Structure 1
Amino acid sequence: MTATIRKLVPAPLKRWIAEQVQPRPDAPVPPSPRDLQSEMTCIGAGVRVDPSVVIDYAQGLCLGNDVTIGADVNIDAQGGVMIASGVTIADGATIASSLPLPVCARDPHLPEERAWGEVFIGEHVHVGANACILPGVTIGANATIAPHALVDADVPAGTHFGFSKAKEPLTAMIRLASDGEASLPPTDPTGARPATGREQTPDICFVASTGRSGSTTIASLLSRHPGIVAKHEPRHQIIKLSTDYAHGLKTRDEVKASLERLLLDGSVYHGDRIHLESDLKYFNLVPILAEIFPNARFVWLVRSGYDVVSSTHGRSWFADSSHPVWREIYWFFNKHRVQGDKTGAMPAADWAAMSAFQRNCWYWTYVNETIERDFAALPEDRKMFLRLEDIDARIDELVAFLGAAPAELTAARTNEAFYAKTSPENWTEDQKKDFERLCGPLMKRLYE
């Protein structure tokens, strides 16, 4: 990632940073950190965030215990931002896990894609005023970042970054509103202090699926239970990680180490609540997650291939990269979509010859068969197979499987599409034959 950042020309990069720290007069008023608190991946106790802080994609932000964030800080968490316990971020700093740079003809001097990558800030780091941290950066514990520093490379633990030989003083860099305004309310009504996964093993469940199969619905449904903290796709870091593993670009040990940092070191959990994460990118990570969390539960959430392929094809999955939806909205998902040839499922020539519709059919079968294979090795009390079509009738069973107390919950449809839908009735005869060839055997096994 650092190499990618260094290729950006200085002037456009400076313009982008200026845009982040100087809000436009016509820009809408962003939600306050307190309004976004429930959306964050995780948040510890004793967190103080000035109301002026702007957070983009709060779902990707995790704050440890006793984190302090000063005034006018900008955080872009699209690529994932993990801020460990005891970190102080001074006024005007910018933390960017993705660069929303112009694409294509809007600015010919810049790359077509936004550069993005997880930002990980270790325990007791001090980030100086107006510093800017770029995507893909890891800052080790007890490091200090100088005011106005541009951090485009990893910073070792315990070191000072960006200071002159004289070393500027670290004074007058935190300006917070009153504690009543800056302190975020505790997320645990009992006042219990969250702990990292390394400090205390959480009671956790992972939902694996193809996507477009109710992964949002199940998280939204269970988040209404007072004893469950349920999140949908809270960790964009695993988008690339999961695909790299499927493509053989990362070893099992490398993936495990990344997940341990993400789930054990970079996240805090409430000891008296059940945590659930629903994410399509967990489809090939079940054995590793089961090893990291020996008592974790797993739900295989499946939806009829007819509905999933209609949805994914209509959403332009596996479309050519020139498609506007591919470039503008879901580029980070589409760029790291699993490819049949790279998984070893078929020769490159066969994958290249497949239509987008055929690839969507292949994807539904490949992902579900991967989950099916890995679920076979799990003990019965740690796994649950659930069809989306049965979720209303099996809500009580699902809650009991998680070990939560009974509660009145009703599933509601979420994540409405804004794109042109397709349906089996409108498929061509060739598409119907393709679906039967690629998805038919598994459909019979799962639905008949």
Structure 2
Amino acid sequence: MGLRGHLNFFIDNSYLGDTLWAVTKSRYLDFGAENRENKIFCLCTGSCGSGYITELFKSNNVPGCYHEKHPSLDHVGVDYAIRSKNRSYIKGLLYLTRHDVQFEANNRFFALAPLLNEVFPNSKFIHLHRSAKDTLTSSMNKKSFEDFWNSKRLRYCSFLSGSPELTTFEKACWYWTNINQRIIDDLRDLPSMELSFDDLVVGNLAELEEFTSIDFDTKKIQPVNTKQKQKLETPKYKSYDEWPDEFKQRFDDICGSLQAKLGYS
């Protein structure tokens, strides 16, 4: 059984977490300290430039850069956010799958920062975020908006998107709020910085350079992962200003406070 086979075995049998962590620690951690430190992880909601920032790091010759590296740990991250169980299993899995990472942007990590920091000491964390108004406008202009937020995928049918009886728009609002708030809470006592999508794409990277100790000679690149095929031919809404009044009211109720806290109007 190869490495992928072993990983799939433990993923399917998460109660074996203590065994996975013990094997990982004895065979890898004790002998691979040089691979465990000074990693950079970018946490986000998704749809806010995670692919772009990964390609930007690559363009500046940073080795070991990944965007949602396989296995992406989607179910693992959401399950931990919901139940906060299987710590040993997840820590072992993180090392086995991320020991060769120098930088990774992955929205599946939104609740895993404390465990990442335990496995990889002295990690640095970037909270990449985008205005909820822009994020939601973009989402509503995708063909799959209704199906997306009413799917059975765990992250979209759990508390992260509110209650099942909510409208699709309300679920999307709660998802943006809950994911970003969890990231803020987890990073409060860890080496971290906030980076807005707007600053990222215009090349305003002075704080990022200071935080990562990386000189970004290339500060802007071409757009990445624009998902043109997923977009409606005619946008439903060009901006927040075109939203129905009831959307604006529910947005203020659900996202307004955190939107302001993150520096958006």
TM-score for both structures, normalised by structure 1: 0.48
Greater relative CO, 1 or 2 (CA 8 Å, sep 6+): 2
Structure-2 residue corresponding to 1:361: 173
Q: Structure 2 matches for 1:167-182, cutoff 5 A?
A: none
* Match for residue 440 of structure 1 among 235, 242, 256: 256
Max Rg structure: 1
Q: Structure 2 matches for 1:421-432, cutoff 5 A?
A: 421-423=235-237, 424-432=240-248
Note closer, same or farther for the CA distance 1:302–1:430 as it changes in structure 2 (3 Å cut).
same
* Match for residue 208 of structure 1 among 18, 39, 43: 43
Task: Kindly report the root-mean-square deviation, in angstroms, between the aligned alpha carbons of the 2 structures.
Answer: 2.9
Q: Structure 2 matches for 1:364-375, cutoff 5 A?
A: 364-375=176-187
* Pair 1:390 & 2:199 matched: yes
Note closer, same or farther for the CA distance 1:318–1:242 as it changes in structure 2 (3 Å cut).
farther
Take 1:245 and 1:210, find their aligned partners in 2: how far apart are those partners?
A: 16
Unpaired segments of 5 or more residues in structure 2? 11-27
Q: Structure 2 matches for 1:287-306, cutoff 5 A?
A: 287-306=114-133
8 Å contact kept, 2:72–2:108: no
8 Å contact kept, 1:317–1:360: no
Letter of the aligned partner of 2:113 in structure 1?
V
What do residues 81-108 of structure 1 show as CA deviations (whole Å, max 9, x unaligned)?
x965xxxxxxxxxxxxxxxxxxxxxxxx
Aligned to 2:73, the other structure's residue is in SS state helix
Percent identity among equivalent residues?
Answer: 25
Letter of the aligned partner of 1:283 in structure 2?
F
Q: CA deviation at 1:262?
A: 2.1
What do residues 336-370 of structure 1 show as CA deviations (whole Å, max 9, x unaligned)?
324443x6x96xxxx12201110000010101111
Take 2:134 and 2:148, find their aligned partners in 1: how far apart are those partners?
A: 24
Aligned to 2:41, the other structure's residue is in SS state strand
* Pair 1:309 & 2:136 matched: yes
Unpaired segments of 5 or more residues in structure 1? 1-81, 85-118, 123-135, 139-195, 270-274, 327-333
Letter of the aligned partner of 1:360 in structure 2?
A
Take 1:246 and 1:314, find their aligned partners in 2: how far apart are those partners?
A: 28
Structure-2 residue corresponding to 1:100: none
Structure-2 residue corresponding to 1:286: 113
Letter of the aligned partner of 1:246 in structure 2?
A
Considering fraction of residues, name the structure with more helix. Answer: 2
Take 2:218 and 2:96, find their aligned partners in 1: how far apart are those partners?
A: 36
Equivalences, count: 237
Considering fraction of residues, name the structure with more strand. Answer: 1
* Match for residue 401 of structure 1 among 189, 193, 211: 211
Letter of the aligned partner of 1:120 in structure 2?
G
Aligned to 2:64, the other structure's residue is in SS state strand
8 Å contact kept, 2:67–2:104: yes
Q: CA deviation at 1:322?
A: 11
Take 1:443 and 1:321, find their aligned partners in 2: how far apart are those partners?
A: 23
What do residues 210-257 of structure 1 show as CA deviations (whole Å, max 9, x unaligned)?
100111111111110123432211134411111111222843333223
Aligned to 1:206, the other structure's residue is in SS state strand
Take 1:282 and 1:247, find their aligned partners in 2: how far apart are those partners?
A: 13
Aligned to 1:365, the other structure's residue is in SS state helix
